[in-house]
Amino acid sequence: MTNSPRARSQPTLGTTPSQTVGPFFALPEGLPWPDGPELVTEDTPHAFVLRGQLVDGAGDPVPDGLIEIWQADERGRFAHPDDPRGTTTSFRGFGRCATDQQGRFWFRTVRPGGLPTPRGEWEAPHIDVTVLARGMLNRLVTRIYFPDETRANAADPVLEAVEERRRKTLLAEHDDTGFRFDIRLQGDDETVFFVL
């Protein structure tokens, strides 16, 4: 059988390679949108600030990075047609923040709801993260989990697949205004990064 759906579904075009975002993406009016870090307004119920620092292998801050996040709303919904559960949301879900001279970034957001998987599992509340910077030829991807979701985190299939001593690199910490999540590109406490 030559015309099977599987044969048809094989990729036919080579994808365009990734290249570094370089040092100059933060031109005036460039990638760091003025409202980039604010997924919700300050007066939104349950809103918190998530802060962090991007650090390189020498322990130095990365002052020319760009952090992007993508997450569900508080009920676990996405404003997206490929979410087959049918409910929609007005939540933007996307944030973007350039790091400052100390490698720091921040977002104002809400805690996402948990999510079902096609395999019948349940994912704990999490935020997907893209890390971009000069010196990185492809993006890095990681996930932020919440430290007080003990039961949900224990059942999360992604966390479960990470060796226990490194799981803490995926957990945000409480701080004064919300949560803190540092991203370490190398070192003993290197953040867990993913391919997908």
Partner 1 sequence: MATDTNGKHTDDLVLPTYARDDTSHPALHTPEYRSTALRNPQRPLHLLPQNLTEVTGPLLGHERVGEHDHDLTVQHEGEPLGERIVVSGRVLDSDGRPVPDTLVEVWQANAAGRYRHSGDRHPAPLDPNFSGVGRCMTDEQGRYRFVTIKPGAYPWRNHDNAWRPAHIHFSLFGRAFTQRLITQMYFPGDPLFFQDPIFQSVRDPKARERMICRFDLDSTIPEWALAYHFDIVLRGSRATPFENEDDDDDD
126 binds partner 1 (CB under 8 A): yes
Using the rule CB under 8 A, is 121 a contact of partner 1?
A: yes
Nearer to partner 1, 45 or 59 (CB): 59
DSSP 3-state of 109: strand
Residue number, 179 or 183, with CB nearest to partner 1: 183
Question: Which amino acid is residue 168, in one-letter code?
Answer: K
Phi and psi at 42, nearest 5°, equal -60, -30
Is there binding between residue 64 and partner 1 (CB under 8 A)?
A: yes
Q: Of 41-49, 67-75, 102-110, 171-179, which part binds partner 1 (CB under 8 A)? A: 67-75
Distance CA 176, CA 101 (A): 22
- If one asks whether residue 88 binds partner 1 (CB under 8 A), the answer comes out as no
Provide the minimum distance between the beta carbon of 192 and partner 1 in the complex, in angstroms, as a whole number.
Answer: 6
Q: Is 63 left (phi over 0), alpha (psi -120 to 50) or beta?
A: alpha
Q: Count residues contacting partner 1 (CB under 8 A)?
A: 85
Q: Cβ(115)–Cβ(158) under 8 Å?
A: no
